[in-house]
Amino acid sequence: MLLLLVFVFAAPIPMAEASGQKKTWQLKMHHHAGAYITKNALGGWAKRVENATNGSVKIKIFPFRALGGVTEGYDLVASGAADVAWTFTGFFPGQFLLTNIITLPFVTCPNATINSGILWDLTEKYPKKFAKEYAEVKLLVLHTSDPNIVGTTKNPVRTSKDLKGLNIRAGAGPLTSMVKALGANPQMVGVGDAYLAFEKGVIDGFISDWAVVDAFKWYEVINYYTTVALNNNCYWIVMNKEVWNSMPPDVQNQIMSVSGKAGATFIGGVWDAYTESTIKRVKAMPKKKILSLSGEEKARWRELAQPIWNSYIKKLEAKGLPGKQALEYLLKRVEECNK
């Protein structure tokens, strides 16, 4: 009986310590990405983390929605149901206000690599404000998509009048306001459900990036693409705080050496390559048309964006966030990159 009690109450010795091996972390990652982004962007980043930590941190990327729903990424990580997650900030209305300033209409550079780097620079400009925005988790990467386009099933869009009354899939936040300003009806439909909604005519089109067109085969049901560079989608990678705090400073530094701005621009570069291949695919397809706005029409759309900027800044300032300063900083960077 005494021997049994000793067996029950003796503290277990971690295998890594008992054998003298270094401690390792096997992490579960949640996401809702298509195959290309999963393999090349998320998988590429995860491999970089493994290499940077000399194998101490390995990230297993679970299949699409295997660990939870599309909009559950933040809660899954905060609760510990997932160790790491990648997802779209537009799924969380009002939660990432300072982050989503990069999603304001016409606050965008030509590609995801540049936009992603600028966004991370913004986090370093206001570190305490961003720390509060991600208080329950550890923020590892913030990045953007390539600039958003307008896609429609039946009606080509050359002016805002062509959007009037259409049901358009769009993310929450400033983009919703822009869709309304253009005279369309914003619809929140999951990426996995949108194809059927397009096919049945429940929604008439979308405002999003090129990557999603290929990832979810929207090119089969979307016939018209207007390249307006309307705004950016924004995404983050976060880690469970307890997991992060369990790691010594050297491992944390190794992870951040390939995350932060390095991770943002890496994923942005993968996104840009995907954009190019998707555009080539669509151009090669019969009966698909890629259109662009006239300079005059684009100026009209930009005018419609001004009240959205002003309203968003007021919302940020009311919560003690540097709305005006942050927007001025972004607009200066955007002006530089668009010269």
Q: What pLDDT is stored for residue 339 in this prediction? A: 81
Sign (positive or negative) of CA dihedral 31, 230, 269, 252: negative
- How far, in Å, CA of 53 to CA of 191, rounded? 34
Q: What is the largest CA-CA distance in the chain?
A: 88
Give the model confidence (pLDDT) of 277-334 as tens digits. 999 999 999 999 999 999 999 999 999 999 999 999 999 999 999 999 999 999 999 9
Q: What pLDDT is stored for residue 15 in this prediction? A: 40
SS3 93: coil
Task: Name the CATH architecture for the domain at 25-144+233-275.
Answer: 3-Layer(aba) Sandwich (3.40)
**Residue whose tokens read 């729903």:** 69
User: Which residues lie closer than 8 Å to 24 by C-beta, 6 or more apart?
Assistant: 16, 55, 56, 57, 58
Rounded (5°) CA angle 283-286-288: 60
Q: What pLDDT is stored for residue 8 in this prediction? A: 33
Give the model confidence (pLDDT) of 205-225 as tens digits. 999 999 999 999 999 999 999
Sign (positive or negative) of CA dihedral 226, 96, 124, 54: negative
Please state the domain extents for the chain.
Answer: 25-144+233-275, 149-231+286-337
SS3 140: strand
- How far, in Å, CA of 58 to CA of 24, rounded? 8
Provide the CATH number for the domain formed by 149-231+286-337 in this structure: 3.40.190.170
Identify whether the C-beta of residue 271 lies closer than 8 Å to the C-beta of residue 140.
no
Equal CATH topology for 25-144+233-275 and 149-231+286-337 = yes
Q: What is the CA radius of gyration of the chain?
A: 22
pLDDT at 274 over 70: yes
- More confident position, 15 or 53: 53
Tell me the two tokens of residue 76.
């899954």
Return the amino acid letter for 45. W
Closest CA relative to residue 185, chosen from 161, 167, 204: 167
Give the model confidence (pLDDT) of 87-111 as tens digits. 999 888 889 999 999 999 999 999 9
pLDDT at 202 over 90: yes
Average pLDDT over residues 62-79: 93
**What share of the chain has pLDDT > 90, as a percent?**
85
Edge-to-edge strand ranges of the sheet holding 137-144: 57-61, 25-30, 84-88, 234-240, 137-144
Instruction: Please provide the average confidence, as pLDDT, over all residues in the chain.
Output: 92
Tell me the two tokens of residue 119.
């966004």
**Residue whose tokens read 């990424």:** 73
Q: What pLDDT is stored for residue 14 in this prediction? A: 36
**Residue whose tokens read 């207007």:** 226
Give the model confidence (pLDDT) of 178-189 as tens digits. 999 999 999 988
User: Which residues lie closer than 8 Å to 55 by C-beta, 6 or more apart?
Assistant: 24
Edge-to-edge strand ranges of the sheet holding 149-152: 185-187, 167-169, 205-208, 149-152, 224-226, 289-291
Q: How confident is the model at residue 192 (pLDDT cuts 50, 70, 90)?
A: confident
- How far, in Å, CA of 14 to CA of 58, rounded? 18
Q: What pLDDT is stored for residue 70 in this prediction? A: 85
Identify whether the C-beta of residue 252 lies closer than 8 Å to the C-beta of residue 57.
no
Q: What does the chain come to in residues? A: 339
- How far, in Å, CA of 267 to CA of 249, rounded? 24
pLDDT at 159 over 90: yes
Q: What pLDDT is stored for residue 188 in this prediction? A: 86
- How far, in Å, CA of 84 to CA of 73, rounded? 9
Residues pairing with 208 in the sheet: 149
Give the model confidence (pLDDT) of 5-39 as tens digits. 333 333 323 344 444 567 999 999 999 998 999 99
